[in-house]
Chains A and B, each alone.
Chain A
Amino acid sequence: KNEVEQSPQNLTAQEGEFITINCSYSVGISALHWLQQHPGGGIVSLFMLSSGKKKHGRLIATINIQEKHSSLHITASHPRDSAVYICAVGRGADGLTFGKGTHLIIQP
């Protein structure tokens, strides 16, 4: 079993829909990262969380440390949000451990 599980693996939605991507992890962590990767490979860091909730524009990330679960929400989704969203956890001395990613397609 992977230490970091993301769901769904693939998601296709219509422009304007509210999107939720989930991430569950099985070990204690020091921080959780949400990353965005567009075709071509470059990765952008969206959020780093160790507790609570963060918001940036139309993106919201939450984490529940007790339940070892995090969610990434996109409000008023737009075709430019189409990308792979990756959850990664940091555990102090170890490097980041990544989920397999969620492939999101927003159709106009």
Chain B
Amino acid sequence: KAGVTQTPRYLIKTRGQQVTLSCSPISGHRSVSWYQQTPGQGLQFLFEYFSETQRNKGNFPGRFSGRQFSNSRSEMNVSTLELGDSALYLCASSKDRNTEAFFGQGTRLTVV
């Protein structure tokens, strides 16, 4: 059974640009959640999608957005990148809320 796949693994962007990250969940999983990990703040919840609907959003500015497609694949977008957006972005898939979550390897974003 294939795991959660995140692409790309590494990304370098310039301040002011935008970026799109992709997450393909485990087959049959309809819930995809996104997290940001930084050395200072640790892991923080960004948002959760279930059946193409955003169910919940963490405390992040509107520059952070996402969507989920009918095949459960999800993308997150960060516009007008800032240096502080440099982080490891992780997605996790699960069958539903409060079931076991399976994490991808993450996308390491560096903003210069």
Contacts and interface: CB of A to CB of B under 8 A. Distances in A.
Interface of A: 30-31, 33, 35, 40-45, 48, 86, 88, 90, 92-101
A100 B100 contact: no
Nearest to B58: A95
A96 B33 contact: yes
Contact of A31 (B33, B88, B98, B103): B98
Given A33-B100, A95-B45, A100-B42, 12 more contacts: A30-B98, A35-B103, A41-B37, A41-B106, A42-B103, A44-B103, A93-B56, A94-B56, A95-B47, A95-B48, A96-B43, A101-B42
A101 B40 CA distance: 12
B64 interface: no
Nearest to A93: B56
Nearest to B9: A41
Contacts of A44: 103
What 9 A-B pairs are tightest by C-beta distance, nearest first? A95-B45, A43-B103, A98-B43, A41-B106, A42-B105, A48-B100, A30-B98, A41-B88, A100-B42
A54 B86 CA distance: 36
B106 A42 contact: yes
